[in-house]
Structure 1
Amino acid sequence: MSITLLAIESSCDDTSAAVMRDGILLSNVTASQAVHEMYGGVVPELASRAHQQNIVPVVDAALKQANIEKSELSAIAVTLGPGLMGSLLVGVSFAKGLAASLGIPLIDVNHLHGHILAHFIQTPDDKKEVPPYPFLCLLVSGGNSQIVKVNSHNNFEVLGQTIDDAAGEAIDKCSKVMGLGYPGGPIIDRMARQGNPRAFSFAKPNLPGYDYSFSGLKTSFLYFLRDKVAENPNFIENNKNDLAASLEATIIEILMKKLKKAAQDIGIKHVALAGGVSANSALRKAFQDMEDKGVWKIYIPKFSYTTDNAAMIAMSGHYRYLDGEFCSLDKPAFSRTVF
């Protein structure tokens, strides 16, 4: 009998729904929220209101694109956390109500597991190579920076993580300080391609083990701009491409140094990239360079699977369904990072 899942993702500011049958993705629909751009970051109250407006049409579109009726669904998978509580509650409440009305199981999915398992998404027209277990995954996003040893689809071992700010958050905050707008990732990426990555240097933490820290880099960047602007009010405008390139290069060097150490220490040569920051072209190039040198076999997700999306929730949900891991309708959402 076929396993047909509807998956729902609403952990931040993207409302997404996907349909997967027997591990093959049939649809993946996402509605983004442009309203946050003018505020320089996601406003939780506005995000939850937008989710309420988007959830019904997004789910309806996903079912129609997949040519699936609600009566054909085997279960509903939903992001239970981590994320913004107001946003999560919209998706979780909808999923619980629909599952109860259809009399089918509910599957709770950890958002971070979804990002990692996005590497296993297959479509009817694209059967790609997937990483073998165990493999290392660098998970980098606006809220998380982690090195994870993936032993199986349900066994994740965090080797290192940020002790303060995440890489994506550092990029967004530095972009805001430069007056470039939000989200900062795509802006910094675009401008860095036109700049000199060695033009300026910023603080790099020296933590033991595989943990990360980006708060010192943010402070270093802020003070550097403060001093330079005091000397020349037009400094940022005159050097924005070089600033973007130097900031990006510093963050990637920090990320890759720890990842290389972990891979070497453990002896793993299959290394994957995941999370929103995995869309960064320079980070992808750093991974590609390691493969070109014959050091790693790399796995990089499609751009459509880098940001928050329901396809990755469906993939994780599919494995949990096979394992019989369902959840009760009274299980609460959670906002803090739990791996």
Structure 2
Amino acid sequence: MGKKGHQAIPGFGAASRLAVPVMAAAGGSGRSTVAHLLAEELAAAADTVVADLAPRLTSPWPAWTGAAQAAGLAALSYDVPLSRSRIRAAAAVRRAPQGEWAVLTDGREWNAAPLRLPAQAAAWYQLAAAGGWQVLVADTAHPVAHDLLAARCSGAPSLTRAWCELPFTVPVLCARAGADGVQALQQAVMVLHAEGLPLQRTVVVLVAGSDGRLPAVARAAATMLSGRAAAVVHLPHDADIRAHGLQAQPARVRSRTRQAARELATAVLCAAGHAFGDPLPDAPQPSPFPALAAPAVAVPAFVAPAVVVPVV
């Protein structure tokens, strides 16, 4: 398992951007852990931010980041001008040997009214671009296969498709390395293929639930996917992460976990270079929306009158 081929890791120009939506077909797939480890490694390549798309009371990010010390997403209301400094002040900062990286999450107390966060992938892409970050790692919360099938049956837009079609995107698809997780993964891959979504630049992560070799069903899935996905990466079980989450001290994370995270980041960057070129081209400039009426309740500014991101 690992990256396909031996492409050089692409460089980042001043106007380059990369979107990395971390997705899964089912809950319990290790999606947030993968997003954290990936962002930590990508921080060595470019200015990186994680967007936490889960509802606050289901998300681990506020606890992992101590986000209450930052302004958080609640500070990005529609009636306040959003300068770059204001957006960056809303982000919690994580420090790692690879460099600092940011997290946009909601760190308020549990009993605060839920924010009406945008579902549109383009809104988060815009927010990261306005904040000056070059790499956006999106910890998504929707089930991939269900989202695509529901969109097909209803004619409504699909979140998965919207994320995959952002400029310069490398999707990451997570699954537990067991029978149930692999079954959900295989169903998701079939739906992605049927919908014509870019499996060839998608990186698959098989997240182990215990020590030892991958189960036979996961090894078979990895073999099957190696010719269709950009790479298949095995994230080994880490007892410290399982016990303490990613509040754990970096020194306590196992070396083989770090190695797998580096392999994952390399696979993502190589997939980007293979698909889009090395160095990555300049990102397209967003186009403005017509002005819209302000909503009656305070919501993040990037929900309403922002931009349309041209898809290339």
Bin for the TM-score computed over the shorter chain: under 0.3
Q: As a proportion of its length, which structure holds more helix?
A: 1
Structure of greater Rg: 1
Structure with bigger RCO (C-alpha 8 Å, 6+ apart):
2
